[in-house]
Amino acid sequence: MLSFTYFIIYTLLIVLIIYDIYLCVKLTEFAYCAFVRHQPPLYASANMLRERVIEQIITKYNKSKNICEIGSGFGGLARAIAFSTNAKVYALENMPFSALVSKIADYKSKCKNNKTIWCDAFKYLKNTDIKFDVAVAYLGPTFTSKLYNYRNKFNVLISIDFEIQGTKPTKIIDIGYGYTTYMGTRYPHKLFIYEFK
């Protein structure tokens, strides 16, 4: 009976140590985002946002062969797009831990159409020869505005919650509820769709 108690205690201790390591890695990544990259930390896209993005791709851009998600985080949206379409999806993520988690999730889910790439998305877009049919981005306003400079790399840009300043979107879809908080400001959930064809 005593050995079973020790087993439970040691097991819980190991779980606690692993969780502490996870939290330390995430804290380091958040600090790197804030103080080195000057970008917001990772925000997971809500299911309703994923569903609306996929709905747009399936109904409006269903012939897409190459899709990229810029700032893919743990890759949930990219995998959902890959499972819902026949397109090759490139999940671009610059944070190493997030990219690693995304790669593991791709492997575990057997998501063959999704390719997670650990990179600076803007450098990748600058250097790639791939012309994407659709790009999806869930970035803060500063980074979203940079995407206009890469408009020759994709036909359509779906920007979640943040619009490109000085450029009129082709279509705005108001989700109707929910918001993203960025630098103390609430941005209602919307999809800003830009067509550069």
The string of pLDDT tens digits covering residues 99-156 is 888 888 888 888 778 889 989 899 999 999 999 999 999 888 878 888 889 989 999 9
Tens of pLDDT, residue by residue over 66-88, are: 999 998 888 889 999 999 998 99
Q: DSSP alpha helices (H): ranges in the chain?
A: 2-32, 47-60, 76-84, 96-109, 121-127, 141-146
Q: Under CATH, which number does the domain 47-195 receive? A: 3.40.50.150
pTM of the predicted protein model = 0.80
Q: What is the rounded CA–CA span in Å between residue 10 and residue 15?
A: 9
Supply the angle between the helices 2-32 and 96-109 in degrees, to the nearest 10: 120
What pLDDT score does 43 carry? 57
Answer whether residue 40 shows pLDDT above 60: no
Residues 6+ apart with CB under 8 A from 98: 29, 42, 72, 73, 74
Task: Locate 6 and state its tokens.
Answer: 């020790």
Q: Domain ranges in the chain?
A: 1-38, 47-195
Nearest CA to 130 out of 77, 93, 87 is that of 87
Q: What is the rounded CA–CA span in Å between residue 174 and residue 38?
A: 28
Q: What is the rounded CA–CA span in Å between residue 151 and residue 104?
A: 30
